[in-house]
Amino acid sequence: MVERVEHDILIIGGGGAGLRAAIAAAETNPQLDIAILSKVYPMRSHTVSAEGGAAAVIKPNDSLDAHIEDTISGSDWLADQDVVEAFVREAPHEMIRMEHWGCPWSREADGSVAVRPFGGMKTERTWFAADKTGFHMLHTLFQTSLKYASIKRYDEWFATKLLVENGRCQGVAAIEIRTGRVQLVAARAVILCTGGAGRIFPFTTNGAICTGDGMALAYRAGAPLKDMEFVQYHPTGLPLTGILITEAARSEGGILINKDGYRYLQDYGLGPPDPWPRLRAMEMGPRDKLSQAFVHEMRKGRTIKGPYGDIVYLDVRHLGEKKIDQKIPFVRELALHYAGVDPVRELIPVRPVVHYMMGGVHTDVHGATPVPGLFAAGEVACVSINGANRLGSNSLPELLVFGARAGRAAAAFATEHRTIDRPALIAQILDEEYRVSRDFLRKEGGTERIATLRDEMTRTMEAGCGIYRDEASLRVTYERLAALRERFSRLSLDDRTLSFNTELTGALELDFMLDVAHAVAQSALARIESRGSHQRTDYPKRDDERFLKHSLAYRTDGPPRIEYLDVVITRWPPAERSYGR
Amino acid sequence: MPAPTITLEVLRYRPGQDQAPVFQAYRVPYRDDWVVLDALNYIKDEMDGTVSYRWSCRMGVCGSCGMMINGVPKLSCAAFLRDYYPATVRVEPLAHFPIERDLVIVLDDFMQKLSAVKPWIIRKDERPVAEREYRQTPAELDRYKQFSMCINCLLCYAACPVYELEPRFVGPAAIALAARYNMDSRDEGRQQRQEIVAGPDGVWDCTLVGECTTVCPTDVDPAGAIQQGKLSSAVDWVKSVMLPWGKR
């Protein structure tokens, strides 16, 4: 039986963007019925893992133009400049609201919020709550959301399909994980806030839940995925686990050294090393350049062989115990627990690690996707402030600014579009229920295990779609992904029960990840230039003539179809990216 | 020499299938840099896809993967196999909660209590954004910072002997969260929270065992929050008796 559940706005994902969208919608119109549906309880969302901080212009020595320029040059000119302007202008308002809602920001002696420098930023503008900024923002947003009676929640519901009917997104099919039932949750507007897809790679800072669900849901509903070839490697992950050591470790003064104790970044256009510290130089350069420098060091044989691949060292010893405990206590805790080293006295082994998807569901500046009634915000979306490389500490204000914008835009849409085509939605739910049963729960004769296919997918993504790519590596990856998609049809589950079947949700996540991985590989294959995080060894130069454009990947029965869309340039014509000088 | 292994005894319970929980033993490869969660993932991936448990960040901050490990509530992402090897490790769902399935607990009760303490800034007048941030000195931040570190992992409830006997008890994490907002210089909502915190299922239920503080993975010190709650509600009571006409 399909129960009668409907809302004005349904938000999928209860992390920072989803919660901010919900609050914005509730404030826009208290009469609206709002729901957040997430496969995890909101406080488990991956926003929780963000560490270093959130950038917004607040201090008298800073300016909006400075933040805009840093963001645009950081993006290697692939960000839409009108969107960046809106982002930078609204970020301080959003951050002040977070402060008013109780976020425990670190403070100056006079009680004003403290800011720290961050990579690729020419001024100190990154607000922080020690080094658990995402954790504090997420819990502040979640707790604040509890005061709005109009916000309901579906905790631990897994969205399997967006329901598009009569040219509009009108809700979602979702599995209530506790019961295993496929249910209809109808809505007049839907906002995707499901985060990133780092789990398509083997070595990532991302939590287990970051499986690109929202990207695949939108892609299947007809929305294009934009700029998917741009995958951010963070330069400092702990070996084996991939746990993030925040960029704040460097902004507080940490340095990166190779096996000879040499600050190697000076050899890759980021120096000279002194005077130090300097903004936009050396260890305070952008993430793409730092991760690329590691690869060159490794090829020169100047990294250190570890049991889990090559590493370099992050050295924060000179900061002293007091500053480490005050400014980056989580770094110390993580290094002690997961690498067995005390950063007060020892070097931290690190290597580049997949961290963030610059690409995502194509949206406009209001978070609207090309599918009417479907919005997206946060890492799942590509509104395009990050272009070819996101600057550290821009993602947290991004989820606030564009979460709020999507919430307001969805509120307006839901007010104008009242009809819900219920009989047609119910028919779709019955089909979806049948699909889940046929392909997974009742399927006979399958031979493939989830873990086998997942491991092969992540390995081929790293091999062919890593920090450096070329046509041959990308073609191999693309072919392997196609083979994995075929093998996926022969998947077999051990678990055929309904209640809390995490093997079933794991299979559905793998299904999503294969779609996202395909879009990444195909977009990377088509972009025959090098820009930001997308480095083609066969096309090592940036090519503004042909590729000052966003790529849009559309799902087809065959390979993704790639189209291009001009980047919006307003006041900042493309120029050479320069750091260190 | 054969590769070393370690045995996990995992509590299994599948609603509608199992009459009562049973233990199932799995022998998995032993690695000294693996945590219990890695061993569970190995079981799930390679041996038995039917084992259910929650996890995500695997770095001690999302709060999903709390379990009883050899009878002690712990985050399974922070419990290293090397601390148990070569003995068998017994893994059970968090104590004092209903079992949803296998290692998955039902946490509806906690979610309701979390909302009940009104964990948000309460003020008579909201400050306009144009007036920028509230000033809050580092010393004022330090007053509540510790209580703001709770990741809602529920280890404290699994350790609390009062919650075991009296499930209505608001409990360590929710009381600590109330204290977090009560002690925030931006907040004016303490009286509203007192109904719950100092009410019949609030701080006075606590018998000061302090197990909550012992098991807390982020050093929140819920026992300290409960003590402060008792002290301030006692002061409220004294004031109400001594100065019945005055404002508290």
pLDDT, one tens digit for every residue, chain A (581 residues): 556 689 999 999 999 999 999 999 999 999 999 999 999 999 999 999 999 999 999 999 999 999 999 999 999 999 999 999 999 999 999 999 999 999 999 999 999 999 999 999 999 999 999 999 999 999 999 999 999 999 999 999 999 999 999 999 999 999 999 999 999 999 999 999 999 999 999 999 999 999 999 999 999 999 999 999 999 999 999 999 999 999 999 999 999 999 999 999 999 999 999 988 899 999 999 999 999 999 999 999 999 999 999 999 999 999 999 999 999 999 999 999 999 999 999 999 999 999 999 999 999 999 999 999 999 999 999 999 999 999 999 999 999 999 999 999 999 999 999 999 999 999 999 999 999 999 999 999 999 999 999 999 999 999 999 999 999 999 999 999 999 999 999 999 999 999 999 999 999 999 999 999 999 999 999 999 999 999 999 999 999 999 999 999 999 999 999 999 999 999 999 999 999 97
User: Terminal CA-to-CA distance of chain A, rounded, Å?
Assistant: 66
Average pLDDT over residues B206-234: 93
- In chain B, the residue whose alpha carbon lies closest to the alpha carbon of A106 is B138
CA gap A525, A449 in Å, rounded: 29
Active site residue A435: no
Q: Spell out which residues of chain B touch residue A107, defining contact as CB-CB under 8 Å.
A: 136-138, 141
Q: A375-379, B91-95, B202-206: which has the minimum mean pLDDT?
A: B202-206
Give all strands (DSSP E) within A248-397, no chain letters: 255-257, 304-306, 309-315, 348-357, 360-362, 374-376, 381-382
Residue A197 makes CB contacts below 8 A (sequence gap 6+) with A206, A210, A211, A212, A215, A357, A513, A516
Specify the residue for token string 């109330």.
B178
Whether the predicted interface score ipTM is above 0.90: yes
CA gap A353, A13 in Å, rounded: 24
Q: A228-242, B112-126, B220-234: which has the minimum mean pLDDT?
A: B220-234
Q: pLDDT value at position A581?
A: 79
Q: A150-159, B53-62, B134-143, B223-232: which has the minimum mean pLDDT?
A: B223-232
Asked if B14 has any chain A CB less than 8 Å from its own CB, the reply is yes
Residue B24 has pLDDT above 70, yes or no: yes
- Residue A219 to residues A169, A192, A354, B20, Cα–Cα distance (Å): 13, 12, 22, 43
Alpha carbon of residue A491 to chain centroid:
28
Asked if B31 has any chain A CB less than 8 Å from its own CB, the reply is no
Cross-chain Cβ contact B151/A43 below 8 Å: yes
Asked if B181 has any chain A CB less than 8 Å from its own CB, the reply is yes
Q: What is the widest separation between alpha-carbon atoms in chain B?
A: 81
Asked if B62 has any chain A CB less than 8 Å from its own CB, the reply is yes
Burial pattern B46-75, b for ≥16 Cβ within 10 A else e, equals: eeebbbbbbbbbbbbbbbbbbbbbbeebbb
Q: Taking a C-beta distance cutoff of 8 angstroms, is the pair A492, A447 a contact?
A: yes
Cross-chain Cβ contact B121/A499 below 8 Å: no
CA angle A490, A494, A498 (to 5 degrees): 105
- Token readout for B180 is 């977090």
Q: Taking a C-beta distance cutoff of 8 angstroms, is the pair B178, B196 a contact?
A: yes
Asked if A542 has any chain B CB less than 8 Å from its own CB, the reply is no
Q: Spell out which residues of chain B touch residue A97, defining contact as CB-CB under 8 Å.
A: 129
Asked if B113 has any chain A CB less than 8 Å from its own CB, the reply is no
**pTM beyond cutoff 0.95:** yes
Q: Residue A207 is nearest to which of B57, B184, B187, comparing CB atoms?
A: B57
- Tell me which of B236 and A159 has the higher pLDDT: A159
Asked if B135 has any chain A CB less than 8 Å from its own CB, the reply is yes
Residue A16 makes CB contacts below 8 A (sequence gap 6+) with A45, A47, A134, A137, A138, A141, A378, A396, A399, A400, A403
Closest by alpha carbon to A46, among A191, A211, A248? A211
CA gap A334, B37 in Å, rounded: 16
Secondary structure (3-state) at A530: coil
- In chain A, the residue whose alpha carbon lies closest to the alpha carbon of B106 is A178
- In chain B, the residue whose alpha carbon lies closest to the alpha carbon of A336 is B78
Q: Spell out which residues of chain A touch residue B129, defining contact as CB-CB under 8 Å.
A: 93, 96-97, 100
Give all strands (DSSP E) within A124-208, no chain letters: 126-127, 151-155, 157-165, 168-176, 181-192
Active site residue A534: no
Asked if B82 has any chain A CB less than 8 Å from its own CB, the reply is no
Q: Taking a C-beta distance cutoff of 8 angstroms, is the pair A94, A400 a contact?
A: yes
Q: Residue A143 is nearest to which of B46, B55, B119, comparing CB atoms?
A: B119
Residue window 332-351, chain A: list those with CB within 8 Å of chain B: 333-334, 337-338
Q: Residue A99 is nearest to which of B78, B102, B133, comparing CB atoms?
A: B133
CA gap B181, A177 in Å, rounded: 33
Cross-chain Cβ contact A143/B63 below 8 Å: no
The length of chain A in residues reads 581
Q: pLDDT value at position B16?
A: 85
Instruction: Give CB contacts under 8 A, 24+ apart, made by A430-435.
Output: A430/A2, A432/A160, A432/A161, A432/A173, A432/A182, A433/A173, A433/A182
Which of B120, B144, B193 is best to mutate for the A interface (most A CBs within 10 A)? B120
Secondary structure (3-state) at B75: strand
Q: pLDDT value at position B17?
A: 87
Asked if B190 has any chain A CB less than 8 Å from its own CB, the reply is no
Of the residues A7, A20, A168, A250, only one is catalytic, namely: A250
Q: Taking a C-beta distance cutoff of 8 angstroms, is the pair A124, A116 a contact?
A: yes
Closest by alpha carbon to A521, among A480, A581, A486? A480
- Residue A441 gets which letter from DSSP? I
Asked if A326 has any chain B CB less than 8 Å from its own CB, the reply is no
Cross-chain Cβ contact B120/A147 below 8 Å: yes
Q: How many CB pairs under 8 A join A and B?
A: 158
Confidence band, pLDDT 50/70/90 cuts, at residue B248 = very low
Residue A121 makes CB contacts below 8 A (sequence gap 6+) with A55, A67, A70, A279, A280, A284, A391, A393
Closest by alpha carbon to A203, among A228, A236, A239, A245? A239
- In chain A, the residue whose alpha carbon lies closest to the alpha carbon of B126 is A100
- Residue B3 to residues A280, A353, B9, B29, B31, Cα–Cα distance (Å): 49, 29, 20, 7, 9
Q: Residue A495 is nearest to which of B16, B49, B152, comparing CB atoms?
A: B49
Could you please report the per-residue DSSP string of A79-146?
S-HHHHHHHHHHHHHHHHHHHHTT----B-TTSSBPEE--TT-SS--EE-STT-HHHHHHHHHHHHHT
- Token readout for A74 is 């950081």
- Residue A448 gets which letter from DSSP? B
Beta-bridge mates of residue B91: B10, B69
Give the count of beta carbons closer than 10 Å to the beta carbon of residue A356: 27
Q: Spell out which residues of chain B touch residue A108, defining contact as CB-CB under 8 Å.
A: 138
Asked if A306 has any chain B CB less than 8 Å from its own CB, the reply is no
Residue B7 has pLDDT above 90, yes or no: yes
Give the count of beta carbons closer than 10 Å to the beta carbon of residue A355: 25
- Residue B9 gets which letter from DSSP? E
Cross-chain Cβ contact A139/B148 below 8 Å: yes
Q: pLDDT value at position B238?
A: 83
Q: Spell out which residues of chain A touch residue B102, defining contact as CB-CB under 8 Å.
A: 500
Residue B247 has pLDDT above 50, yes or no: no
Burial pattern A365-384, b for ≥16 Cβ within 10 A else e, equals: bbbbbbbebbbbbbbbbbbb
- In chain A, the residue whose alpha carbon lies closest to the alpha carbon of B136 is A111
CA gap B43, A265 in Å, rounded: 42
- In chain A, the residue whose alpha carbon lies closest to the alpha carbon of B143 is A104
Cα dihedral sign, A165-A171-A172-A173: negative
Of the residues A7, A234, A280, A534, only one is catalytic, namely: A234
Q: Taking a C-beta distance cutoff of 8 angstroms, is the pair B25, B9 a contact?
A: yes
Question: Position A18: which residue type?
Answer: G
Could you please report the per-residue DSSP string of A15-52?
SHHHHHHHHHHHHH-TTS-EEEEESS-GGGSGGGG--S
Q: pLDDT value at position A383?
A: 98
Q: Residue A500 is nearest to which of B100, B126, B149, comparing CB atoms?
A: B100
CA gap A457, A532 in Å, rounded: 24
